[in-house]
Amino acid sequence: MRGLYLVTPDWDDTDKLVAVTAQAIEGGATLLQYRHKTASEALRSEQSSALLALCRRKNIPLIINDHLDLCERIDADGIHVGGTDASVAEVRSKIGKEKIVGASCYGDLQLARDAATAGASYVAFGGFYPSRVKKYEVATAPSIIIQALSELSLPICVIGGMTPDNARPLVELGAHSVAAISSVYSVEDHQAAAIAFASLFR
């Protein structure tokens, strides 16, 4: 797990979502998370299935945010859980050993330790910067990356207000991937934005 971890915005237009996502994957996104907090169950099923087909063509994993039932139903590659969702242990026991399980750990190293013990595939820290999409209660210190690398053998993802410029020092500290929504989806040239993120890992 390394590179741009693309996370979808709350767009209801499935065709637009798939088209823009395809451009970002062409630019170098290596992992996609489907996240739509306000979608109906029908829309969520439609969009995730369309994105899964895209990811299969492009040979990158699709992670579902929160919805274990959806992940299992479409046979996505994994699931990402947050602090208010099902526990990593619970999800891992239901989804099996082969799927990816990611865990939001905010700015809390103990959450990351617990997630690793429970079977997480990667941990995500943040927000590091103000986000246009998600509201974080904590400002995460970059030093948590160094601490986590010294203790954990899992890939580390950084999230929260990421741009190619402000993500660079976090990648230089050892972050394995950078999660982005607005910095890719809410710009004019989606492929160029993805290229800029991908270049951090070359």
Q: What pLDDT, on a 0 to 100 scale, did the predictor assign at position 137? A: 58
Q: Which residues fall within 8 angstroms of residue 95, CB to CB, at 6 or more apart? A: 68, 71, 72, 78, 79, 101
Q: How far apart are the first and last CA of the chain?
A: 14
Q: Please state whether 116 falls in left (phi above 0), alpha (psi between -120 and 50) or beta.
A: alpha
Domains of the chain: 3-201 (3.20.20.70)
Strand residue runs (E) in the chain: 3-7, 29-34, 62-65, 78-81, 100-106, 122-125, 156-158, 177-180
Q: What is the pLDDT along the chain (202 residues), one digit of tens a residue?
A: 999 999 999 999 999 999 999 999 999 999 999 999 999 999 999 999 999 999 999 999 999 999 999 999 999 999 999 977 789 999 999 999 999 999 999 999 999 999 999 999 999 999 898 877 666 655 899 999 999 999 999 999 999 999 999 999 999 999 999 999 999 999 999 999 999 999 999 8
Residue 114, both tokens: 């617990």
Task: Quote the pTM value.
Answer: 0.95
Residues known to be catalytic: 35, 104, 134
Q: What pLDDT, on a 0 to 100 scale, did the predictor assign at position 131? A: 74
What is d(CA 188, CA 47) in angstroms, rounded to the nearest whole number?
22
